[in-house]
Structure 1
Amino acid sequence: MSHTAHIRSHRKPRRSASTIAMRAGVAGGVLGTLAVAGASGSANAAEPVAQTLELPTLTSDVAAQVARSADATQQAAANYELQAERDAAAANAAKQAKADLAEARKKAAQARKKAEEAARKEAAARASRTAERTAPATTTSTGTGSSAGTSAGTTVSTSTSTATGSAAAIVSFVEAQVGKAYVSGATGPSAYDCSGLVQSAFRQVGVSLPRVSQDQSVAGTQVSLGNLQPGDILYWGGAGSAYHVAVYVGDGMFVGAQNPSTGVVERPLSYDPPSGAVRVL
């Protein structure tokens, strides 16, 4: 025993039961807290496992979104491609339309040029016919017969010989038609055109003539205008290309279906000197 053991103040105080119980309670509380913390830590440590289990769900959603994005991208690309095709088609159509328009304009210009050329030729021919019809007679003679010259200086006979036979029948027929109407394409009996009157007149004596002036001007024997006889066919224009015909009736006169304004008339040769004559009878 220590030499100070008998001194009361130097003795270590004994632990009381309450103190020991309190300390045990504190220790138990600490241990309980640690146990709770450990359990909590274990629970927290298990949370990543729970998150790992949810990852497949999250990955599936992302995949669906990626797929939808890919579909949208593909659709947009298809739309762009379709628009590009439409733009190319529109450009080609516009190019073709431009080419077609240029071709149409070219053809229209050619047609217009041809029409103008035809109009010029027709005007020139009409002027030539007018000059021939209005040319004054250059010579006149008297006697048993008389003659009138054309603008070209050709002498036109105006014999007073009387028609006989078939020629007389032709002369009588055409003179009977004087005053009737001129109608293009008509061959009687109420209206005629120039070649229709001549054809109808020769039909009276059993002679069949061609229908048009061009053919009638070469239907017989060509005779000079200085040797005309009643019943001869007079023509205006060239032989084979005549544009007008009439019948010489003697005494320097002819009967013809002239035009719509005059109809069938009897006129002197000087009124419209013919270009030539043909004898059928």
Structure 2
Amino acid sequence: MTAPAGRSRALRWFSTLSMTVVLTLPLGTPEVGAAPQPPDPGRERIASERAEAREKAERVGQLANKLAVAESRLHDLSVRVETKREATNKARVDLRRARRAYQRARQAVAASAERAEAAAGRVEHHRKRLDAFVAGSYKQGRRIGSLPSFLNAESPQEMLERASLLDVISRKQLDVLDDLRRARTRKANVDSVARQAAQRAEAKRVAAERARAAAESAKDAAVALQKTQRARADELRKEKAHLAAELERARANVGELRQQRRRHQQWVADRRAQEQDATAQDTPANEAPGAARAPSTAESSGADTTNSARAPSAVNTVVQRARSQLGVTYAWGGGNAHGPTKGVHDGGVADAHGDYRKIGFDCSGLMVYAFSGVGIDLPHYSGYQYRAGERVPLSQMRRGDMLFWQDGGNVHHVALYVGNGRMIEAPYSGAHVRVTSVRYDGIAPYAVRML
């Protein structure tokens, strides 16, 4: 019994010495065969990189807003150019008409001159007839129609014949005089009408020439402005694309640093678990199993952890449902809780794009579909959606909030904010559901929070 007892005491002493050595090893000392410690970028570096990425995202958003304004201005100028071009076309048509009217007036003047020559010929003819009549009267040596013309008659019959002749001659004389007066009047009237027509035609031609020149000048000025604005928009697009590429690289860098941080934290957690396992081997049995667990801070405070965990999940559901419709065509009046539907007639732009024949979403229809996934039944009208939930200032907007745009106080568009200055929207007829930067031009002062 003595020898075995000695060997037992020696084994107990050796075991105690071995445990002491293990417990006195530094916590950071890696075991043989353990994975090497991953690099730790640190919170400060990640925060710095994240802040830089956020700054670039804000700059991208600002450029996107500037680009949206520039493109809106470009659209307005394009409409203006089209208007000026149509005005130029009108001026050209008016000028051609005025030139034709002027030519017709000149022809009328020429014809009037011919008629005036004819009238002058008739006047001369009647003048000669009158001269001949007067000369014939004087050749008788007395005044025609005087008393001696009747007294020299040899019989009553001759007297009657002379009276009849004198009556005819008198009427002829009056007819000649009337014809002369009418011919002169017609000539004067024809000349006057022709001259007035020519003057009016010339005035219209001159005015049309001026209108055409003014229209051409206005059109050229509008085209020049359009070219300048298009160049500015192209410059903003290039700058935005360059900065967006930098933003993507910055986000990728932040993501890589986060992965490094998580790997390091997991490595530290594994090391601590190994150390705790080693310590637990020497822990008295009455302290390990069945020991009371101290309540966590959240549990002791009585906070509703179920609701706090549910809200992010609901927001993710809303955002993912909206994202699932990316690329779906815009259809005015389209969309419900179950997905895209056929558009409706609007009697205007939507009809011109054939929205009533398409299956898709309009802006408020997309919101109806997104929020129906979490049991929220929104009305299919952006104006009512603006009053559907809690209004928060734009400076406090967060992922899952709805953003609205107004014109004269009337809501006309809605989109879903997805964070990092981005939003999902069904923009307009002819486009598709897309992710784009938040536009601040015309945006309503409040976001609406449903979750």
**When the two structures are superposed, what TM-score results if normalisation uses the length of structure 1?**
0.42
Give the structure with the larger strand fraction. Answer: 1
Question: Which protein has the larger Cα radius of gyration, Structure 1 or Structure 2?
Answer: 1
Structure with greater contact order relative to length (CA < 8 Å, sep ≥ 6): 2
Give the structure with the larger helix fraction. Answer: 2
